[in-house]
Structure 1
Amino acid sequence: MLHFLQRCFQVPSKMVCLQILLQPRSRAACSFAPLQCSLPGMSKSQLHISAGLNRVQCFHSSCCNWKKKKPPEPALRELGLLRYDMGSLKDSPKPALYLSVAGLIPFVSVPLVMAIQETSYPELAFAQIAYGASVVSFFGGIRWGFALPEGSPAKPDWLNLSNSIVPPILAWLALLLKDGLMEAGTTVIIGLGIALHYDLSLLPTYPSWFKALRAIVTIVAVGSLVATLYIVSIYPEKHLAPASNKVED
């Protein structure tokens, strides 16, 4: 009768031991696991196997938090200037690149001459401002001409055509303020900034090389105008000599 009861309770005892092995426990519980599994009907080899499994499980449960992998850091994105890639400047057509560089000579030469002589010439300053006003009008015309051809990505709608008129109006106002160099120069600087904003944000279909070239031209032009206005404000004023003198009778 005792042997029959032992055979009946042998299978449930193994199932209970397997359930205990699969449950996560602390180190203290793992140390007493072999005693819990030492039920009647289990041999010594089975007890050694259960003890080894308990040790492996205890080690895994204690170190699982240490082995968590950190999420990969996002790749660093290269910072561009506004919304275009300055690296595409090398793709500029040579005629556009050379003509743009040559067009910066009137901007740079005026403050350079006045700084070398440490004298402000109102005629040269106004000539630079007038040239800047013509450049602002030219930028507005580029936008108008880009929207008119058939198949152009820019539509000839109110937004594109109206924005292309704003730079010429600012250039016209700058020429009306010829008696005040500071006001006229500031108006041209505002016109250059607005034209650049239109070309970079409102019409992103321009080629990347053109956007980069536009940014460089605008930065140099604005810097030259600011230098001229600064020289006019700190250096003594001197008018240029007339080209020819009238002969008195």
Structure 2
Amino acid sequence: MPYSAVVLGLAGLIPFIFLPIAYVANLLSLTQSALYFIQYSGVLLSFFGGVHWWDAMKAQKFGTQMYVAMLPTIVGWLSLVFSHRVEVLGLLSLSYVGILMYDKFTLSLPKVQIVSYISLRIALTTVVVLSHAWMIYLIT
């Protein structure tokens, strides 16, 4: 895995970690922290659809993968529409796990690349899911 991918992946975790801390430290209200968290999570989730869109185009797989590539964007958009509901955090969290599993069985990368990519994604997704759980705990 390229060093830049690891660094950027880790940098992508900053809002997931900072926003709950910002509420606990009284830097943001709970409403602000939760709203910004959901907005960031929804936007970032849509990125993973782009990974599948690119993979389907590259491998000329114009069937199911092309359609599934749109799901993270739709879920991300719906999370913005319904950002006032705590259930959205659970949906986003499950979506990150779902797209990770779909990545593992669908992406057409060489075996060495897919192993390192999935290993990185498992680590990052674990932090993302735990952050969602933390935000749910703070809200309820």
Same fold (TM over 0.5): yes
CA distance in 2, matches of 1:169, 1:120: 28
- Identical columns (%): 28
Partners in 2 of 1:194 and 1:110 — Cα distance? 23
Unaligned 5+ residue runs, structure 2? Answer: none
Higher RCO (Cα < 8 Å, 6 or more apart)? 2
2:11 aligns with: 102
What is residue 217 of structure 1 aligned with on the other side?
124
Q: What residue is the counterpart of 1:244 in the other structure?
A: none
- Which amino acid is 1:147 matched to? A
Alignment of 1:171 with 2:45, yes or no, is no
Contact between 2:22 and 2:33, CA under 8 Å: does it hold in 1? no
Amino acid corresponding to residue 157 of structure 1 in structure 2: F
Conservation of the 8 A alpha-carbon contact between 1:174 and 1:183: no
C-alpha separation in 1, matches of 2:76 and 2:12: 17
Match of 2:88 among 174, 178, 184: 184
- Find the counterpart in structure 2 of residue 145 from structure 1: 54
Alpha-carbon distance, 1:192 to partner: 0.9
Q: Return the offset for 1:217.
A: 1.4
The 8 Å contact of residues 23 and 30 in structure 2, kept in 1 or not, is answered as yes
Cα deviation, 1:30-71, whole Å, max 9, x if unaligned, reads xxxxxxxxxxxxxxxxxxxxxxxxxxxxxxxxxxxxxxxxxx
**Pair 1:159-2:29 in alignment:** no
Letter in 2 for 1:93: P
2:104 equivalent to 1:200? yes
- Alpha-carbon distance in 2 for matches of 1:205, 1:145: 12
Compute the TM-score of the two structures, normalised by the length of structure 2: 0.87
**TM-score, normalised relative to structure 1:** 0.51
8 Å CA contact retained: 2:42, 2:80:
yes
8 Å CA contact 1:144–1:164 kept in 2: the answer is yes
| 1:34 alignment counterpart | none
The structure that is helix-richer by fraction is: 2
Where in structure 2 are the equivalents of 1:1-249 lying within 5 Å? Answer: 92-117=1-26, 121-149=30-58, 152=59, 155-180=60-85, 182-203=86-107, 205=109, 207=113, 208-233=115-140
- What RMSD, in angstroms, separates the aligned Cα atoms of the two structures? 1.8
Secondary structure of 1:205's aligned partner: coil
**Cα distance in structure 1, aligned partners of 2:74 and 2:101:** 16
SS at match of 1:148: helix
Q: Distance in 2 between matches of 1:214 and 1:113?
A: 25
Give distance in 2, aligned partners of 1:120 and 1:145: 38
Greater Cα radius of gyration, structure 1 or 2: 1
Gap runs ≥5 in structure 1 = 1-91, 234-249
